Amino acid sequence: MSKFLNSFCLCSALLAAGFVNHAEAADHKQHKAKAKTAATTRDKAPQAFGERPELMRFGAELATEQGWDVVQLQAQLAQAKSHPAVQRLIMPGPPGSAKDWAAYRARFVEPRRLQAGLQFWDQNEAALARAETRFGVPAELIVGLIGVESYYGRITGGFRIIDALATLAFDFPSGRSDRSAFFRAELVEFLKLSHREGLDPLSVKGSYAGAMGWPQFMPSSWNRDAIDFDGDGHVDLINSPADAIGSIANYLVQHGWKAGMPTHYSVALPVETSARARLLAPDILPSFSAAQLLEAGARPSDAALEHAGPMAVIELQNGSAAPIYWLGSENFYALTRYNWSSYYAMAVIDMGHTLATLRRATSKD
């Protein structure tokens, strides 16, 4: 089939599925650009840390522990910059903000990102099939996750990692629970990664929180779970889609993924408020057997009744509309280890399922 026909079939399928049109997508992009400009103008310019005592002590201790050149590491750390934008972005959203699953989903399951996902799948079909066979993680979920995380490598972050992590490690903002110890540990992992892989720590870029590459791994996840899946002797999540594919599959397995298990099931919750509240209390943690759900007044689907393990009752709020409820399996929970959000996990699932459906449709045409 020609590229023109492939594009035509995809657009037809997207319109039939009721996705946003290109004009709506353009308006959304313009709104985001204006918001980004406004945010940039109210952030102060980043300031170099220089030879701040606590940062220099950190460098000296790490270099001594690892057998590195102390002077060189301290010189690199002195060039890190404290970013007000990073401090702002790490803050939680305003209290009382209404959650809207439909709006959240629409950020990812939209025509251009879907088109990019189909192209990514075609270009990396062999690596995806190999990962599915080896790890038991469906190709559609891996493709969906990369689409949500980085728009297939198009959006990987513009902050120097050393700046982002040093800011959050040594200038963590007040107004929320202090996580500076976590980011100090991630800075250690990043410097170890840079040393092992021969990366210039002053050049690597990523998100405001320090996530990197196609799969947006934090440095500790890269060091612990990333694998060389293209066989070149290096683990490269920034330039190698194959390494990203294999590493995501390995990450999910290391966090409890079970081959062949569905991610979620449908359910009807009891009308009684207190019973519903008890079922929702554990949030994304699988806590109830099928029998316990029945005892609480819930009505799981037939497939859920056959599920042997525990399940979580997932609520996706829809603004002023009625919420949507699902039962999340251990595999759903494994997806939330990537990002601790039921909305995130469901967006990955929906993205992957939509791509698989479109791919089948275009292949028939």
Q: Which residues are catalytic?
A: 149
**What would the two tokens of residue 30 be?**
């313009």
Q: Which residues contact 211 (CB under 8 A, 6 or more apart)?
A: 157, 217, 218
For CA atoms 195, 200, 202, 206, the dihedral sign is negative
